[in-house]
Amino acid sequence: MIKIGMLVGDRYEILEKIGTGGMSDVYKAKDHKLNRFVAVKVLKQEFSENRNFVAKFRSEAQAAAGLMHSNIVNVYDVGEENDIYYIVMELVEGITLKKYIEKKSRLSVKEAVSIAIQVSMGIEAAHNNFIIHRDIKPQNIIISKDGKVKVTDFGIAKAATSNTITSNVMGSVHYTSPEQARGGYSDAKSDIYSLGVTLFEMLTGRVPFNGETTVAIAIKHIQDPMPSPRDFVPEIPISVEQIVYKCTQKSPDRRYQKMSEVIEDLKHSLINPDEDFVVIDDGETAGRTRVITNTEGTKPKKKAPRRDSEEEHLRLNNSEKPRPKKSASSKREPVWEEEEEDFDPKMERVTTILAVIAAVLIGCIILFIAGKTLGIVDLDEIKSRFGTEKSEEVEMPDVEGMSLTRAKSMLSDLGLDYEVSYEESSEYEQDIVIGSNIKAGRKVAAGTVVKLTVSAGAEGVSVLDVKGKSLAEATALLEKEGFQVAKTEAASDTVEKGNVVGQSPDAGTKVPRGTTVTLQISSGPDASKVSVPSVMGMTEMDATVTLTELGLNVGSVEEVNYEDPAFSGLVCYQSYSVGDYVDPGTAVDIKISKGPVDLTYGFNANVDSPILEDPAFISGTPVTVILVTAEGQELTRTSTATFPITMNISGIKGSGVGKIVFQYTAVTPPSTTTNPETGETVTIPGAEEPRTVERPVAFTPEA
């Protein structure tokens, strides 16, 4: 079991827990061997006990450890200690792309494409090393504080999918490719599909397919056409829309075939966003009528291969139907063969039966819709009692009269989602649950959305916080609570154009229902300003080119020590944050890393006897005193029987910690015992026992 302060692998000191996931917990640690901070990902107990999974996990993690790329969270080490299986990774300070999207509602086209390029470059590096991620999603993409985009968890997803880990552990089905949803073979093109879904979410703030269960979402990935991101954000350029479409084709053969093609089109779209240059295979090549010879035409027809879905079968049949073509001469040339449509009585009976079944189903659907409209049919009750989805069921708790905070917590603990709406009430105090759309005690599937009705008090309701949201979303939320909405415009360098900069009354203010809330809508940054790009991780030349092309200047250039060795020779600091808007010609200062500081330490102390560690120690006993670094280097060795002794050593290299080792021979005094039956006295002579006692010490950094 991992504990704060423990040393893993004789070098990684666990400092704090910084995250948790379905498969592992993540800790910040210090690598005392290389004197740097790292992230240690530790497998949870249930996976550590699965030997097949552990073996696969280790081999895949070791393969991922061979990847070194600026857009990948690099793996440094893989190890096992006392049944604790861990991976040591690059520590990236930042947030996941998922949280970044939630924070901004949706990203601008330029920012989304730029992030997608960096993600693609990381995935391309992995594919070039024959490593497929299989779980690309915003939760596995990190945006560092300096604006660098990094993909994480390479190798881990493959180990999990190879051992049939359940979907609730293996990330979200919202980003899975159709072939993965079917449980079939997945390759590099599966990562391309997931990248396309991720780009869709960056552009729109939502995933393309949603549903009440993972099975329902997976079926949509297999069958439903991909919605257009322009349906949600009309200003998305056609080239970007087409890139999303090509990435997310149902058939892997119609997607981009490799990441370099994706990167090329993404970069093209940054330069010419409104150009319709993306070429998507429309399926005509696969479904084109085939030219056959007369000899081939006489061969018996083979059974058609099994399709992955009936829908695909019907679609391809329609596209494969040959068309007759008149021959220009009587010579024996290839002709278009037309299949004979022979009358088949058995097929006619099957067709008749299917028609009857279809009619019955249509009738049932009409009756169901009518019953639901009249309130006769309770859809939730039907789902609860007769649902065919094999999802975990929980019992709906009684939340009436409960505080909203407690009700939310209880529902979350049960795996239920919730939506909240307010209404005035003189019977219930503010923020007390009045009721819900699901009766207490009913069994419902985990993930079900419970609609809570909450009291706004007798005097009014609190104004929602809609800052950062789009005008449409903010208006919908406020009007749903009974507010009127007015708007004004204000320039903003930090809030995307069209989103809310401020509001009046302020969020949380309690006002009567129907009050007008005035929203300040961002008109975007001042057109005369320039957005500062990220030059972190670039060479000095690349940084200079990037800044100059945008009309900015390079200010002072300074070489400094930087903790992360991966930045050696590269930009490790810029004086303006990414996305800041500044005047053209502004000078951006940069710093170039010359590698980590080569620290030395000193140790100057009076060392007391080991009596604190060994209360039985006898003063005057000869002791050998050894000073050793954490890396095992012996610094000094002294033999003495008198304490304290003085140690004064400088120029110590390493992690800055070590230990003092005391070695001596302890003598136990003789003892006398009496036999109670005979009265005989027996003397037990004293004995000598070699002992070793250790005392941890910390060295002092030298200037």
Quick one: which H or E segment has residue 476?
helix 471-480
Residue 114 half-sphere exposure toward CB, CA atoms < 13 A? 13
Residue 483 half-sphere exposure toward CB, CA atoms < 13 A? 30
CB within 8 Å of 37: residues ≥ 6 apart = 15, 28, 29, 30, 31, 91, 563
Rg of the chain on CA atoms, in Å: 35
Amino acid at 657: V
Q: Catalytic: 224? A: no
Quick one: which H or E segment has residue 90?
strand 84-90
CB within 8 Å of 47: residues ≥ 6 apart = 23, 24, 53, 54, 57, 85, 165
Quick one: which H or E segment has residue 455?
strand 449-455
Distance CA(282)–CA(588), nearest Å, equals 48
DSSP 432: B
Report the side by side order of strands in the sheet with 587-593: 553-560, 587-593, 571-574
* CA distances (Å), origin 241, targets 109, 203, 244, 494, 579: 10, 10, 5, 26, 24
Residue among 31, 77, 135, 153 flagged as catalytic = 135
**Looking up tokens 């949803």, which residue turns up?**
181
> Crossing angle for the helix pair 188-204 and 97-104, nearest 10 degrees?
20
Q: How far apart are the first and last CA of the chain?
A: 39
Residues with a known catalytic role = 135
